[in-house]
Structure 1
């Protein structure tokens, strides 16, 4: 069994999630990619252990992460069992339900039937009695939100999750979820939402203001915009990249000459700050005190170490923030 680095908690400053008792690392490891059945297990394990040895205590999963669906939870469960089991109380495990998982009318969306069954299956794959955060992965346009929130709340009351979360909810759904969780006696902990320099929806919807007013936290995913805010695409679309593969969320037609020009200007500014573009993008995405953590994926352990360097940079000056605004608005 793995022996963790004794200095791991001296490497990061942990961030309180809203006004709760839970603190999260500024960077969390997401297992959406690179933890599927066909991925190299030893590499997956090294990524997780490197993250934990460097102070990352939050590991973000979902029932459908793989491929195939469920594979990431199985793999992470094996790593917990074989390497990190004695550190379970130092680790925050989150999972979600609400995207397609199994056949039939109950394998998707936000019904009580789906959410309860999905969490039970997740716990079995993970080999755990409870997860720390259980999210409704997306709003269901047909199931009443009262049913969805009740199901998540029931999971907390049953001891199968410590905290409830919502993901990808817009303003109206967020406000309603906040009210319902309060009424049920299981206050919402966190909202997980897409946020980056290239997708500023939470700002545009004034979501940060609403969450802060209620004492809630935000965890952001895709802060690097599926890899666009790295040096990967500065010289075109490399072979084997996400954009080069069919059936991914990042398609070739999204990478326009205008977008590439913005990315190159951002990269130039990052270099002036002695950062990589990815490090600057992570620092920017976590600059608001509502954001307690940013989720990143990794295909190599070295990527985690490189990403963590964003915490060592000087804060943005007003001039630098204005430069970023001008680049993004062009």
Structure 2
């Protein structure tokens, strides 16, 4: 069956500018980190991706290492672009990143010009595209001059292989420096992708979100559900089949400590009082900040996608609700901050 996008796909979704750029993103973007790799068949993937686009999700976020195995998410999305999404390419924002390990030897990870530009070419091949809309430095590399890393991003724009560039998980000072270097090269730092959630507030604590606001950099929050903890499934004992059940998965033991799950239980009461699921409350909280352009979700099922999209029915949080969320979350806050070697990805 040939996919035809829903004519009403833009009716319900909201869009925000990324910082002071002309780029608009949907308030909910879909990431293909762990659920669209080699273990996902095409029909199952297209069911979710097509439903997402039909709901107004125009931004699909990837990276060179997304899978598993690494590269397979880009390959799968490349098939979707070729078979079903090609008529809609100009309606889509496709982003990818480079920074984590991809191949053996000294040039297979981090932030050198050699690695970033080779990786971008590989990503374009897997995706079957001439350019991506956003190309990110996936993590700060303390052993490569920032001028070199940002120079590679600038080259990606000048060569026409990326329309916009961004950074991911850069702390405040490195964010400011990256912005300065790119600006001197005549290239904008359009977007920053940090982790951010009710339980993970490092971008508030170190001032990164304030720096982005000051500099006009958009913020797209990844892990707004704190690796699924804020869905409530772990406190309810329904984590079977999730990343928390995988000893090799990305969820840390500290994410499901009793104090964290107790905070989630308190937050669930607030969600119920608002007529929302816990997922929807968590997304509302992240999107309450005007600096946040979009919340980046990851889903395994159509049901999860619909739950996430339900946030559009009740995005606003009153000041007293924000205060109540702060009190409920206080005992479960996670001590997270990006390290030079990177984390979570």
RMSD: 1.1
Question: What does residue range 77-226 of structure 1 map to in structure 2 within 5 Å?
Answer: 77-226=78-227
How far apart, CA to CA, are the structure 2 residues paired with 1:315 and 1:113?
45
Could you list the per-position Cα deviations for residues 246-279 of structure 1 after superposition, in whole angstroms to 9, with x for gaps in the alignment? Answer: 1112134531111111100000110010000000
1:157-306 matches, within 5 Å, as 157-236=158-237, 238-306=239-307
Partners of 1:228 and 1:314 in 2: CA distance: 20
Per-residue CA deviations over 1:221-265 (Å, capped at 9, x if unaligned) read 000001000131122363222111111121345311111111000
Distance 2:33 2:232 in 1: 21
> Offset at 1:212?
1.3
Q: Could you state the TM-score of these two structures normalised by the residue count of structure 1?
A: 0.98
Structure 1 residue 302: deviation in Å? 2.2
Distance 1:252 1:191 in 2: 27
Structure 1 residues not aligned, in runs of 5+: none
TM-aligned CA distance change 1:304 to 1:254, over 3 Å: closer
CA contact (8 A) 2:98 2:137 kept: yes
Residues matched between the structures, number? 330
Partner SS state of residue 189, structure 1: strand
**Following superposition of structure 1 onto structure 2, how do residues 59-70 of structure 1 map, counting pairs within 5 Å?**
59-70=60-71
CA distance in structure 2 between the partners assigned to 1:67 and 1:51 by the alignment:
21
In structure 2, C-alpha distance between the alignment counterparts of 1:320 and 1:265, rounded to whole Å: 13
CA distance in 2, matches of 1:329, 1:238: 23
Partners of 1:186 and 1:86 in 2: CA distance: 29
SS at 1:24 equivalent: strand
The secondary structure found in structure 1 opposite 2:97 is strand
CA–CA distance in structure 1, aligned partners of residues 44 and 232 of structure 2: 23
Aligned residues of 1:137 and 1:167 also touching (Cα < 8 A): yes
Runs of 4+ residues over 6 Å off in structure 1: none
